[in-house]
Amino acid sequence: MLETGKWGEEQAANYLNNKGYTILSRNYRHQKAEIDLIVQTGNWVVAVEVKTRVGKQVEQPFHAITKTKQRLLIKAINFYVRSWPNPVEVRMDAISVVQHPHEVVIHHLQDAFPAF
């Protein structure tokens, strides 16, 4: 599953890059949290949780982001932006990457849960 997750994160990073986002960090760790991707668009710094699934019939990957995981991600991104010299807006996004037999489907959910 580790390889699948890394593959999904790479797909999500490419997707965001093509949408004009700048990748700031990958697999950022703070205490017990790991943020898959931290990106920037304009004055927004965005923590992105990536969920990857493979198969014909899969459940909605966003359901795998528990309240506990959300709290950890929020603490981590707030710690990350504290060191910025200028104020920025913070947002929490989620991206699902689902590999079906003949296609890859990416869904980007902006503002997936509150950052504060």
Q: Per the domain annotation, does 115 fall within a domain? A: no
pTM for this model (two decimals): 0.89
Boundaries of domain holding 21? 2-109
Mean pLDDT across 26-39 = 96
Q: Is residue 49 part of a domain?
A: yes
Inside any domain, residue 43: yes
Whether 46 is covered by a domain: the verdict is yes
Sorted by sequence, the CB contacts under 8 Å of residue 42 that are 6+ apart come out as none
Total length of the chain: 116
The pLDDT of residue 84: 84
pLDDT tens digit string along 77-111?
999 999 888 888 999 999 999 888 888 899 999 99
In this prediction, residue 94 carries a pLDDT of 94
Find the CATH number of the domain harbouring 92: 3.40.1350.10
SS3 per residue for 52-91:
EEECCCCCCHHHHCCHHHHHHHHHHHHHHHHCCCCCCEEE
- Domain count along the chain: 1
* 48-73 pLDDT, tens digit each: 999 988 876 656 667 778 889 999 99
Q: In this structure, is residue 116 part of a structural domain?
A: no
68 in a structural domain: yes
CB atoms within 10 A of CB 4: 13
Residue 101 pLDDT: 82
Residue 48 lies in a domain: yes
- pLDDT (0 to 100) of residue 73: 93
